Each structure stands twice: as structure tokens, then as C-alpha cells.
Amino acid sequence: MKFKLSEERSYQLAVVIVILGTLVITAVFAVGLLHLLRSDNQTVSSSLDASKFESPLSDDLVVSDDSLFARYFDEIGIPDELELDLREYLLSSDELFKISPEVKKTQVLSSSDHTARDGRWIFIDKSKFTLTLYNRKNVLREWKVAVGNNPGDKQRKGDNRTPNGTFKIRQIQDSSKWTHDFRDGNGVIEGAYGPWFIRLHTPPWTGIGIHGTHDPDSISSRASEGCIRMNNQDVVALKEMVRVGTPVVIVE
């Protein structure tokens, strides 16, 4: 027995087949598109995550957790041989051997983490009022600075001393709108910290940083409450050359 579709039935079947085929193709296309979008989103997300760790050599990064910097380098696989142990240089430094008494040199050499992952580190000599940026043993730049009003290592909060030791940059903050009352009779000063505040991790002390100043005449003197002051144009230049995690060695 032969089965023969009418012309109308054939037309309807053809329409159904076309519709089903279109649906299948659309579904396959949609699945492929979703997969592609998901891959792109993961790539963008990874790029954004990495951007949080970009060196502030060219942007205004603020990172408050030192461990973020270390984790980023661990994740991208920077080889260990690129790490620099500053003690190799500090032990041979004539400047470091001028620290008095002897215990101060020991504190500097034993304090904190002396690892510099990109070779750059800062050396601040309070007696000479200088801040020197090194790349390993090579001097990149040197600037004049102001330090704490009182000489010696920091002993207590409010003693107007700049602490000695090996520390690290913890944050780089836009301080252009910050104000401060130095309790010198001049009231609240706008622009007291200049354009940038490079906050240091100086346990057990807090609030210590390298920053600009409203008073350029104070440079090359003991004038601060414990921070390291720079001329505003100098702190702008320094900010472009360092990053969160850069070691900072401060000696008397």
C-alpha cells in the first residue's frame, strides 16, 4: 500500500522541517556564543584582576595590603633569581656602617623583609637629609628631604622622630586635598602633604610616609613630625619610579 501525502500536507511537513532546522541551528549558535562570551569575560576578569597589581610607575594605584603585591608575582611566576636580598649591599655600605650605636646597624639589618623583587630600593640618610633611589648598587636619583624634628630612632608616638630600619611602601595615595594642623599657630594648612603620600609599613608605628610639603624651605632640615618630606616636584618624580612593596631603608 502506497502512502501519498497531499500537496497541502507536504507543504506543512516542509515548513515544520524548516522550523525545526532553524531552531537547531539557532540553539547551536547560541551555545557557541555563550561559550565565547564566557571565555572573553574570564579573560577580561583576569586582566582586571591583574591590573590591580600594576606598578604605579604610570598610574595612581593604591594597594593597602602588602601581600597582594607578593601574591601577584607568585601567580605570574617571577623566578626567584630576580629577587634581591638587600643585606648583600647593606653589609658593604659605608653609609650603613656610620650608624651609631652599633645596635642601630643590627636593627636595620635584621628588621622586616629585605627582598626587592625588581631591584629598586630607597635609602634615606637622616643625617645628610638625602633620599637615594637605587637599582641594586646603581644610583638612579637622589633628592634632598626633611626628616623628623628630633634626632634618633622613634621611641613613642608623637616624639617627632623618623624611625630607623628597613620598611616597605604600603600605599601610594593622592594627598593633594589633604590638610593638617601642625600646631604651630598657623592653623589648618591646605596642601600640607603635597600631591602624593607614599605610606610606609613601619611597625609598630603608623602614619609614617614620604610626601610633599607646603613649606619647601623646610627641606634639608629636621622639620617634620616623623615623616620624610620632599619638594612637591621631587615626590612626583619618585612616585613614578617606585611601587607598592619597594623596600625603604632609613638610617640615622
In a domain, 112, yes or no: yes
Q: What integer pLDDT is reported at residue 145 of this predicted model?
A: 97
In a domain, 57, yes or no: no
CA nearest neighbour of 151 among 96, 230, 94, 224: 224
Q: Give residue-wise pLDDT tens across range 179-226.
A: 888 877 778 888 889 999 999 999 888 899 999 999 999 999 999 999
Average pLDDT, the chain: 75
* Residue 70 pLDDT greater than 50, yes or no: no
Number of structural domains, the chain? Answer: 2
CA nearest neighbour of 244 among 65, 83, 47, 49: 65
CA nearest neighbour of 235 among 149, 158, 141: 141
Cα separation, 145 vs 153, in Å, equals 17
In a domain, 94, yes or no: yes
In a domain, 129, yes or no: yes
In a domain, 104, yes or no: yes
The helix/strand/coil state of 127 is coil
CB 81 within 8 A of CB 65: no
* Residue 49 pLDDT greater than 50, yes or no: no
User: What's the whole-number mean pLDDT along residues 225-244?
Assistant: 94
**Residue 119's domain spans which residues?**
66-251
* Residue 71 pLDDT greater than 60, yes or no: no
In a domain, 192, yes or no: yes
For residue 229, give the H/E element and its range: strand 228-230
For residues 74 and 164, state if they share a domain: yes
In a domain, 59, yes or no: no
- The answer for residues whose C-beta is within 8 angstroms of residue 166's C-beta and 6 or more apart is 86, 90, 108, 109, 111, 112, 113, 114, 247, 248, 249, 250
* Residue 124 pLDDT greater than 80, yes or no: yes
For residues 18 and 80, state if they share a domain: no
For residues 47 and 122, state if they share a domain: no
In a domain, 61, yes or no: no
Residue 8: φ, ψ to 5°? -65, -40
- The answer for residues whose C-beta is within 8 angstroms of residue 246's C-beta and 6 or more apart is 116, 118, 120, 121, 122, 168, 169
